[in-house]
Amino acid sequence: MKKDEALIEFQNVVKTYGQGQTAFQALRGVDLRIMPGEFLAIMGPSGSGKSTAMNILGCLDAPTSGEYLFQGVHVERLDRNQRALLRRHYLGFVFQGFNLLSRTSAQENVELPLLYRGEPAAQRHAAARQALAHVGLSGWETHTPAELSGGQHQRVAIARAIVTQPMVLLADEPTGNLDSTRSHEIMELLVRLNREQGITILMVTHEADMSHYAKRVVHFVDGALESDAMRPERGD
């Protein structure tokens, strides 16, 4: 990949739900370029198109028209199985609700993506322990979600998202269920993963103070990009 080549690119992306008089255009010709290693916050009011854009970026949905390129590959031309392979090998997901298996240990929760890949047990165990260490949970491998705090739940969820060593981490309201202190801890963790591991992070948030951790902030309004601005490095 060339230094000035976008990792992700939307070219005139349109997403329409329904047909005829009931048709609703969730995205109205969006152009967006995301470079490797960026930390991008995606904001906008309810119904603005930010969640639709996130679903397309995460290969959970496809545009009605326009082009979506990932490392130069036209994702909009891929079939469902091919998009699933792209998700499995290049993308990690973090959700507001954590989505942990309640009766399963932290390590077993983190191993799940590798289990789906068919990785041998020894490799799964080692990778999960390493991912938990990256999020500050060494020593918590055998604890179940009932024995963990909300902030630790999200750390386990982030470890599960990075255990496959994804190029891109998509975080959908990752601090939405956390108090202020835990929220800032999780955001500092995401910043560290972005800086130290070079993971490109795309985060949907409605919280302005959380968006301040991102290097770049885009605002959606009525299915279109209203603004796109770089932020100064934290500490500047």
Q: Domain containing 173 — which CATH number? A: 3.40.50.300
Q: Per the domain annotation, does 235 fall within a domain?
A: no
First to last CA, the chain: 30
Question: Residue 18 CB: number of other CB atoms within 10 A?
Answer: 9
pLDDT tens for each residue of 132-172:
999 999 999 999 999 999 999 999 999 999 999 999 999 99
The tally of domains found in the chain comes to: 1
Identify the helix (H) or strand (E) that includes residue 12.
Answer: strand 8-17
Q: Per the domain annotation, does 71 fall within a domain?
A: yes
Say which residue the tokens 């992700």 belong to.
8
Between the CA of residue 99 and those of 5, 51, 84, 143, what are the distances in Å? Answer: 34, 18, 19, 16
> CA–CA separation, 81 vs 58, rounded Å?
14
Q: Per the domain annotation, does 166 fall within a domain?
A: yes
Say which residue the tokens 């329409």 belong to.
16
Per DSSP, helices labelled H in the chain are: 50-57, 80-90, 106-117, 121-134, 150-162, 180-197, 208-211
- Average pLDDT on 27-31 reads 97
pLDDT tens for each residue of 93-131:
998 888 899 999 999 999 999 998 889 999 999 999 999
Using CA atoms of 11, 17, 19, 22 in order, give the dihedral in degrees to the nearest 10.
-130
Range of the domain at 129: 8-230
> What pLDDT, on a 0 to 100 scale, did the predictor assign at position 63?
96
Asked if residue 92 lies in contact with residue 169, where contact means CB atoms within 8 angstroms, the answer is: yes
- Average pLDDT on 38-65 reads 95
Q: What angle do CA 27, 31, 35 make, to 5 degrees?
A: 125
Looking at residue 180, what DSSP letter applies? H
> CA–CA separation, 181 vs 150, rounded Å?
11
Nearest to 32 by CA among 54, 62, 59, 60: 54
Residue 209 has pLDDT above 90, yes or no: yes
Q: Per the domain annotation, does 1 fall within a domain?
A: no
How confident is residue 176, by pLDDT bands cut at 50, 70 and 90? confident
Q: Per the domain annotation, does 139 fall within a domain?
A: yes
> CA–CA separation, 76 vs 15, rounded Å?
12
Q: Per the domain annotation, does 210 fall within a domain?
A: yes
Residue 236 has pLDDT above 60, yes or no: no
Q: Per the domain annotation, does 236 fall within a domain?
A: no
Provide the token pair at 183.
């929220």
Estimate the crossing angle of helix 150-162 against helix 121-134, to 10 degrees: 130
Asked if residue 58 lies in contact with residue 87, where contact means CB atoms within 8 angstroms, the answer is: yes
